[in-house]
Amino acid sequence: MSLQSFRILGKSGLRVSPLCLGAMTFGEDWGWGASVVESTKLINNYVEKGGNFIDTANIYTNNHSEKIIGDVIGKNSSLRTQTVIATKFANNVFPGNPNTCGTGNRALMTNLEASLRRLQTDYIDLYWIHSWDFLTPMEETMRSLDNAVKSGKIRYIGISDAPAWKIAQAQTAAWFKDWTPFIGLQIEYSLMQRTVEDELVPMALELGLGITPWSPLKGGLLSGKYNRKNMGKAEGRFATRNGGAELTEKQLSIIDELERLAEVHSTTPAAIALSWVNNKPGVTSTIIGVRTAEQLEANIAATDIHLSAEEVASLNQLSTPPATFLSEYKDMIPMMQHGGVEINGFKPAPVPLIANMQPGKY
């Protein structure tokens, strides 16, 4: 596989690379990103290697991320044609103004026009709701997005960081009212964050949304920088954000296995972690956030890794999160419903009380 092993995003005709270049690191305005020169090199290297999918947001590095992408791609018509640009709205980039945040029609149009100017393009390929706005009627948001698509300023829409029930409500309304539906779901997903498998992942599979995981290396925790040997000593974005790098035994066990598999495949722990998430059900394109050409090269190596079923199972077992009510009860349902018979190749043990029932006894 390579960056040119394109995948269809959700229920659409949009073709994207299996690894998406995340642009939250473009610009040094937040104190830890890549310089304009380095960001430009990252974009060019990614495109030269066959990548076609770049993801940003209006709020990233105080608008600078969009501006950098516009300077490299927006003003270059040939590059613009071959590149899928995704950006997001909902978070406020106009402090103090209550009508430039959220997903109401006025906020949407204000932020859309501003993003188009910064990106130096007359359309956005994929426009994400960055997070759900519980103050604006869902119908207003979906109708406004549909109008923007019909105007030609947006090609497709997606949803990020929202409850499964709200996404399902909006998607169903779009189908019934003939509005533009979501084609993508952006969520945090990694070996260290699998709670999304409870409701969000099954919802995406059912409703035709391609998943684009963010933070697949858990903010650098799975990059290979942190392990048993240097716990508490390694520095980096994860350590800075979390007040150090003191890890739990479960986290260390996952990292141990990543290091073991990296040795087996002659690669890095980061590449193994990326390969794992990029081949999970429903995942279309995993967002990678890099600051250097070396990091980009190391992450792209994940496209050439083929984990065996046994290797995937070992990572799954180590990273399974504690059961929630839903996941715990879901395991009991086949036991009660199947009545001890095999259905679709699965034969659960029946619940003892039900197993002893006699048809027609009462």
Residues serving a catalytic function are: 60
Packing angle, helices 269-278 and 293-300, rounded to 10: 50
Q: In what order do the strands lie in the sheet with 182-186?
A: 210-211, 182-186, 154-160, 124-129, 84-89, 53-55, 19-22, 286-289
- Coil, strand or helix: which one is 272? helix
List beta partners, residue 126: 86, 156
Question: What does the alpha-carbon distance between residue 23 and residue 28 come to, in Å, rounded to a whole number?
Answer: 12
Residue pair 61/51 in contact (Cβ under 8 Å)? The answer is no
Please state whether beta strands 154-160 and 53-55 pair in parallel, antiparallel, or not at all (unpaired).
unpaired
Q: Which helix (H) or strand (E) holds 280?
A: none
Strands (E), the chain: 7-8, 15-16, 19-22, 53-55, 84-89, 124-129, 154-160, 182-186, 210-211, 286-289
Residue 54, token pair as written in the block? 């770049």
Closest CA to 87 of 33, 18, 158, 138: 158
Residues 199 and 192: their CA atoms lie apart, in Å, by: 17
Residues 181 and 155: their CA atoms lie apart, in Å, by 11
CA atoms within 13 A on the CB side of 198: 17
Q: Coil, helix or strand for 26? A: strand
What is the DSSP code string of 132-201?
A: --TTS-HHHHHHHHHHHHHTTSEEEEEEES--HHHHHHHHHHHHHHTPPPEEEEE-B-BTTB-GGGTTHH
